[in-house]
Amino acid sequence: MSADQSSFPLAGLEAVANAQHQWVALALTPAPGVDAWQAVLALLSYPDVGAALAPLDCIVTLDEPLRLQEEHVTALPASRVVLRVPSAELADAAVRKHCAKLVEQGYRIISDGEPGVHGIEAGVRGVTSDCAVALPSALALMSLPGPHWARNVPGAARLAVCRAAGMHWFSGPYERETSPQTGDGTSRKRLLALLGLLARDADSRELETILKQDPALSYHLLKLVNSAAFALSAPVHNFGQAINMLGRRQLQRWLQLLLYARQQDDSTAHLLLPLAALRAAQMEVLCRQQGGDRDRQDMAFVVGVFALLDVLLGMPMPEIVGALHLDADVASALIERTGPFGELLALVEQPMPDAARLAALGLSPEGFWQSQLQGYHWAIQVSRNL
């Protein structure tokens, strides 16, 4: 932990996805009112940041490109960092020369706004813009190899326009606009039945009976336990071993997330899966920081993972809560955003909370940064293994 909590910079992390809805990068945005460059260095020098966010790239806004010097390379490794440079800065010949040198060192540069004639000299690869306002010109998109990043994409219709125009990376509230989940409703009923059995500590043979009725569930379970995350010396082929390997607590969490993991008709990843995983893991960490015991942490996790079920299933949240017979604190958090879990849920739904709100909940800026790192790390792993 840092010595001075008040000086630790708050920052937002925003997931950036490709056209298949897979996360490819995280955009780092320091809170306003601080030296953004120093905040970036402090945050990316934090212990284990690289491991927590691997294998995703980190997009760093470099408002003053000349401030990035040799001594900063450790905090900003070229293989993992994409530099976002305002197009206006490229009008300066010294900046263009410096950017070209950074490209030689392995950095990738995208221009915030169209770089015009200066882009090639500076080594710019792509362009980014607020696509809720306007798309880059066809000339800008065709003359640079990319990736081109569409920010603040408001919904599915605009996403389609951006993709058709030639954009490669996407971020914005469109990820929360999704059609109710289609497909085999019987499979979802089996998932809910399994969750009910786990809640009452049913015998493993009862769990196996339901698993055997659903080939897709069986496949996902065996795929998970045989993934690199478990590093087994020999593969697991039966359900009893798989349940024992995971443990009931992890099996319950996996089933909760699997509600989001059903593939869409076009075989793209589900937009809500990593977001649900992120919120669940981050809420668990924040609850622990507040002093919550294991049971309270599990309840916080459930709130985070179920908070998007109304969007996923196209059902009112009170109806979902009633069907799952959830604890009163969990129910009030999901339906009304009230109570201790409701406060945490509202916190993680924000791009970047202010320090005063964190303090009111007994949390620190550094603690919130830790919760972000752990949340994103778990969401990345879940997305790769489900």
User: Which residues lie below 8 Å from residue 37, measured CB to CB, with a gap of 6+?
Assistant: 62, 63, 64, 67
pLDDT tens for each residue of 153-186 = 999 899 999 999 999 999 998 877 655 554 555 6
Averaged pLDDT score across all residues of the chain: 86
Least confident of 17-31, 136-150, 227-241, 301-315: 227-241
Instruction: Specify the residue for token string 């929360």.
Output: 176
Helix (H, G, I), strand (E, B) or coil at 51: helix
Phi, psi of 345 (to 5 degrees): -65, -45
User: Which residues lie below 8 Å from residue 322, measured CB to CB, with a gap of 6+?
Assistant: none
Q: Is 329 exposed, middle or buried (0-12, 13-18, 19+ CB in 10 A)?
A: middle
Of the candidates 4, 29, 25, 30, which has an alpha carbon nearest to the alpha carbon of residue 15? 25
User: Please, which pLDDT band fits residue 193 given cuts at 50, 70 and 90?
Assistant: confident
User: Which residues lie below 8 Å from residue 188, measured CB to CB, with a gap of 6+?
Assistant: 181, 259, 262, 313
Task: Residue 48: count other Cβ atoms within 10 Å of its Cβ.
Answer: 12
pLDDT tens for each residue of 116-150 = 999 999 999 999 999 999 999 999 999 999 999 99
User: Which residues lie below 8 Å from residue 358, measured CB to CB, with a gap of 6+?
Assistant: 347, 364, 365, 367, 368
* Distance in angstroms (rounded) separating the CA atoms of residues 330 and 335: 9
Domain boundaries in the chain?
A: 5-176, 185-261
The predicted model gives 41-66 an average pLDDT of: 94
Instruction: Reply yes or no on whether the pLDDT at 256 is more than 90.
Output: no
Write out the H or E segment, with its range, that includes residue 13: strand 11-17
Prediction pTM value: 0.85
* Distance in angstroms (rounded) separating the CA atoms of residues 350 and 31: 13
Res 237: pLDDT: 64
Structure tokens at 371: 């919760």
* Distance in angstroms (rounded) separating the CA atoms of residues 371 and 249: 20
Task: Residue 234: count other Cβ atoms within 10 Å of its Cβ.
Answer: 6
Of the candidates 337, 335, 356, which has an alpha carbon nearest to the alpha carbon of residue 345? 337
Pairing of strands 11-17, 23-30: antiparallel
Helix (H, G, I), strand (E, B) or coil at 181: coil
pLDDT tens for each residue of 301-341 = 989 988 988 887 778 899 888 767 678 999 999 999 999 99
Least confident of 40-49, 111-120, 170-179, 270-279: 170-179
Structure tokens at 113: 């706004």
User: Please, which pLDDT band fits residue 243 given cuts at 50, 70 and 90?
Assistant: confident
| DSSP assignment letter at 165 | H
What CATH architecture applies to the domain 5-176? Alpha-Beta Barrel (3.20)
* Distance in angstroms (rounded) separating the CA atoms of residues 334 and 329: 9
Greater pLDDT, 261 or 263: 261
Of the candidates 198, 139, 206, which has an alpha carbon nearest to the alpha carbon of residue 166? 139
Of the candidates 363, 259, 242, which has an alpha carbon nearest to the alpha carbon of residue 309? 259
Res 96: pLDDT: 97
